[in-house]
Amino acid sequence: MNDAAQRYVKLVLAMGEHDSDYVDAFYGPAEWRDEVRAEKRTLDAILADARALRGTLEGIARPQHNVEALRLDYLRRQTDALIARAEILQGATLRFDDESRALYDAVAPTHGEDYFRALNAAIEAELPGDGALVERVEAFRMQFVIPREKLDDVFRAAIDVCRARTADEIALPVGETFTVEYVNDKAWSGYNWYQGNFRSLIQVNTDLPIFIDRAIDLACHEGYPGHHVYNALLEKTLVRDRGWPEFSVYALFSPQSLIAEGSANYGIDVAFPADERVAMEAETLFPIAGLDGARAAQYYRVHELVARTGYAGNEAARRYLDGEIDAGAAAEWLTMYALMAPARARQRVTFFDQYRSYVINYNLGKDLVRNYVERRAEGDRAKRWSVFAELLSSPRLPSHLT
Ligand SMILES: [Zn+2]
């Protein structure tokens, strides 16, 4: 299977020559990239080679050993997604749900406006008053902005707490570390660029005010036990220990992203179950940010309620990308039902333009990973960590989670 895996890696790299977002990480042999660059394969040639690879993979008998069988499933499904993305780059148009199934091995549920109105009613009860609900939510949140000059201190403290909690439960590869940079003018609010050798570069976008919840959100999601740990564990257990080259490359528009984003989001709950987050933030992060820790419980009550509107983002993206509404209407939908201030909603629509149905990976991904882990952990804290760590170290697909 290593031969087929090597062909897969080179195809992903070749796709990266046509699609600058495609290769999220690569830390395999530099000669492979040089070779791919010299070849200059066209999309037609990539498609033909990818279909041939798919044929080879189909001809390999499913191994008896569980992890080897998962590996074969993974390579087949990742190759299918690569073929779908190449066809999209050639002009194929897929409906939102068809695209997410082809690229991420999953389809997000559909919710109507009544569903989101009911969620908004619960937030109304928490923040009564006049004017549009989104304005009240925004005014409330603005009381919890991390001042720009305290941002780095707050993030560093958040990273320390998340790292310590993760290191207590997961054997992190020796020497793992990352750098944090502050950037502007991006469609995302944070990004982890995995560089191999157990190192990451984490970038934080400071275009918009950063609320206090983003500290743990970013520290866990991008760092511990999120993307940084996921990538480092894949490198350690699959690339180095098993010698599987396909994990030295990470194709962004592929099923792997649902596992990556879902585990990065759910990782926050793994690191801070129940009320532990509020207690830690009240005591540690709020004071560093110059905020009143006594208000942490209220802040997170509202935050949790607003987070439940996350599927409104999928609806906006689905309607927008399926051509049912324009960019302005998509931003309005986000403001109305996901309670995003207009500037944030506009930033989100640019994310839809760039990443399309990728949006489902965050909330649907989190729900799928949570259900998978919780079914096995049965409320036991240590077991939750061990199931989670096993998921981060194995070639599992979204359709394996259900
Ligand atoms: Zn992410």
pLDDT in tens, 146-205: 999 999 999 999 999 999 999 999 999 999 999 999 999 887 888 899 999 999 999 999
Cα angle for residues 329, 105, 331 (degrees, 5° grid): 10
**pLDDT (mean) for 42-67:** 96
Quote the ligand 1 centre to 267 CA distance (angstroms).
11
pLDDT of residue 71: 96
pTM: 0.93
Quote the ligand 1 centre to 229 CA distance (angstroms).
12
65: which 2 tokens? 């050993």
**pLDDT (mean) for 299-321:** 94
pLDDT of residue 385: 97
Quote the ligand 1 centre to 39 CA distance (angstroms).
32
Q: Parallel, antiparallel, or unpaired for β 190-196 and 177-183?
A: unpaired
Quote the ligand 1 centre to 360 CA distance (angstroms).
12
pLDDT of residue 335: 95
Any idea which of 34-38, 279-283, 331-335, 343-347 has the lowest mean pLDDT? 343-347
Quote the ligand 1 centre to 236 CA distance (angstroms).
20
Quote the ligand 1 centre to 222 CA distance (angstroms).
6
Residue pair 140/302 in contact by the 8 Å Cβ criterion: yes
**Structure confidence by residue, pLDDT tens digits, 222-250:** 999 999 999 999 999 999 999 999 999 99
Residue boundaries of the structural domains of the chain = 2-104, 113-400
pLDDT of residue 374: 96
213 burial type by CB count under 10 A (0-12 exposed, 13-18 middle, 19+ buried): buried
367: which 2 tokens? 């729900």
